[in-house]
């Protein structure tokens, strides 16, 4: 049958976003999508156990006010400053749809979370790529390069590199950029500081967070953004009416209230991360200082792809990002201590004797 495309030319032309592999085989050590290796707060299990399934016939709270109140109180802001999404990916989609189109460009650093430019493409918005310096720091002229755009997006800590741009630098960008500055804080719970206050102090700043990493709730899909009430109001117009389902709202409320559990799991992951970073350095690996739950590492021979492939042969999946700046590295999510010990065992078998 002859096929004529019914799609918009932009959709036909684009490649789409490729998410990290979610293999079905269970005997793999899965360290490729920065999930948390530990279970979520025990309160989540209680919610699921006590949940009245008859309630599922009803729609969820459309504006998720109960959940937004909890998020607001955890972060010391007001409900009007918070919007929730079906994962932070949903928040990203809402933002790009709000601030970009064929006339309003977006700008994002490179490398960073590769979904940003894909969302720009979908929106028919040109994306200005701003290359990071060789050490993955922000270039001096980022403001000049971004000046043509209405939205500047970056992750802090950045992904897949893991480093934390200096706060003063970020604040300077917020103060001088004429459009919206979007700071993706997906990994912030593993880092030394955050930029939430900038979203409250500058009218053009949006900060987003997710429960997918530190809260061990990637499957539940809950992300949120914080900004001034006018920005949040506008974003609410763009979101789907029921973008966060009822179960997710309930689960998220309880998980947010268990700050003690969060801290304990995050501390454990950071301590494993630091131990593995030291062990890899001893083997001659170089790496970007990590403020996240992953390590972006380059093996002694600089062949990131080979390291990725060798680990794969031993049933360990990490992530490889081909490219001029990223190709020398592999990104390893931090797993349990036992999983990371296995990574070290295999890594020593490859590089130890050389």
Ligand X SMILES: Cc1ncc(COP(=O)(O)O)c(C=O)c1O
Q: Counting contacts by CB under 6 A, is residue 218 touching ligand X?
A: yes
- Which residues face 153 on adjacent strands? 108, 182
Judged by CB under 6 A, the residue of 44, 118, 122, 159 near ligand X is 159
Place of tokens 């990490």: 318
Residue 36 in the binding site for ligand X (CB under 6 A): no
**Alpha-carbon distance 167 to 172, whole Å?**
9
Q: Does 182 bind ligand X (CB under 6 A)?
A: no
Hey, what are 279's tokens?
A: 């062990």
What is the smallest separation between the CB atom of 163 and ligand X, expressed in angstroms? Answer: 12
Residue 38 vs 351, nearer CB to ligand X? 38
Among 212, 243, 290, 291, which residue sits at the site for ligand X (rule: CB under 6 A)? 212
Q: How far is the CB of 191 from ligand X (least distance, A)?
A: 12
Is residue 34 at the binding interface for ligand X, with CB under 6 A as the rule?
yes
Q: At what angle do helices 88-99 and 229-238 cross, to 10 degrees?
A: 100
Binding part of the chain for ligand X, among 86-94, 119-127, 137-145, 199-207 by CB under 6 A, reads 86-94
The pair of three-digit structure tokens given for residue 41, joined into one six-digit string: 């707060």
Burial class (CB in 10 A: 0-12, 13-18, 19+), 237: exposed
Closest CA to 109 of 121, 117, 101, 97: 117
Peptide bond into 157 cis (omega under 30): yes
- Applying CB under 6 A, the span of 87-95, 195-203, 268-276, 294-302 interacting with ligand X comes to 87-95
Q: What is the smallest separation between the CB atom of 253 and ligand X, expressed in angstroms?
A: 17
155 contacts ligand X (rule: CB under 6 A): yes
Closest C-alpha to 66, from 232, 244, 258: 244
Q: How far is the CB of 109 from ligand X (least distance, A)?
A: 11
Size of the site for ligand X (CB under 6 A): 13
Determine which residue in the list 186, 262, 270, 340 makes contact with ligand X, applying CB under 6 A. 186
Question: What part of residues 219-278 is at the interface with ligand X (CB under 6 A)?
Answer: 223
Residue selected from 41, 70, 89, 146 as contacting ligand X according to rule CB under 6 A: 89
What's the burial of 213, exposed, middle or buried (CB within 10 Å: 0-12/13-18/19+)? buried
Residue from 75, 210, 243, 298 in contact with ligand X (CB under 6 A):
210
Q: Which residue is nearest to ligand X (CB)?
A: 87
Q: Six-digit token pair at 182? A: 């979007």
What is the number of other CB atoms lying within 10 angstroms of the CB of residue 109?
25
Name the site residues for ligand X (rule: CB under 6 A): 34, 87-89, 113, 155, 159, 184, 186, 210, 212, 218, 223
């Amino acid at each position: 049958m002859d096929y004529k495309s019914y799609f918009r030319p932009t959709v036909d032309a684009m490649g789409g976003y490729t998410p990290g592999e979610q293999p079905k085989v269970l005997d793999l050590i899965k360290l490729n999508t920065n999930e948390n290796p530990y279970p979520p707060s025990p309160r989540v299990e209680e919610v699921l156990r006590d949940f009245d399934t008859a309630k599922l016939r009803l729609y969820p709270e459309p504006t998720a006010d109960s959940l937004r109140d909890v998020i607001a109180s955890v972060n010391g802001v007001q409900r009007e400053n918070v919007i929730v999404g079906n994962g932070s990916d949903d928040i990203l989609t809402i933002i790009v749809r709000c601030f970009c189109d064929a006339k309003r460009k977006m700008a994002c650093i490179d490398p960073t979370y590769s979904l940003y430019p894909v969302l720009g493409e979908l929106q028919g918005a040109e994306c200005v790529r701003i290359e990071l310096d060789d050490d993955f720091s922000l270039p001096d002229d980022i403001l000049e390069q971004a000046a043509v755009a209405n939205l500047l997006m970056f992750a802090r800590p950045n992904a897949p590199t893991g480093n934390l741009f200096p706060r003063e630098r970020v604040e300077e960008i917020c103060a001088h950029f004429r459009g919206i500055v979007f700071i993706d804080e997906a990994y912030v719970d593993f880092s030394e500081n955050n930029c939430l206050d900038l979203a409250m102090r500058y009218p053009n700043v949006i900060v987003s967070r997710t429960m997918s990493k530190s809260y061990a709730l990637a499957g539940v899909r809950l992300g949120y953004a914080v900004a001034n009430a006018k920005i949040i109001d506008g974003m609410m117009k763009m979101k789907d009416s029921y973008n966060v389902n009822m179960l997710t709202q309930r689960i998220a409320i309880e998980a947010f209230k268990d700050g003690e559990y969060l801290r304990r799991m995050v501390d454990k992951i950071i301590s494993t991360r630091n131990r593995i970073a030291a062990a890899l350095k001893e083997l001659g690996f170089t790496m970007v200082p990590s403020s996240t739950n992953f390590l972006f590492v380059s093996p002694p021979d600089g062949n990131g792809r080979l390291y990725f492939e060798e680990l794969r042969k031993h049933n360990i999946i990490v992530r490889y990002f081909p490219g001029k700046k990223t190709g020398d590295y592999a990104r390893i999510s931090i797993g349990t201590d036992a999983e990371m010990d296995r990574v070290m065992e295999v890594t020593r078998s490859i590089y130890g004797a050389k």
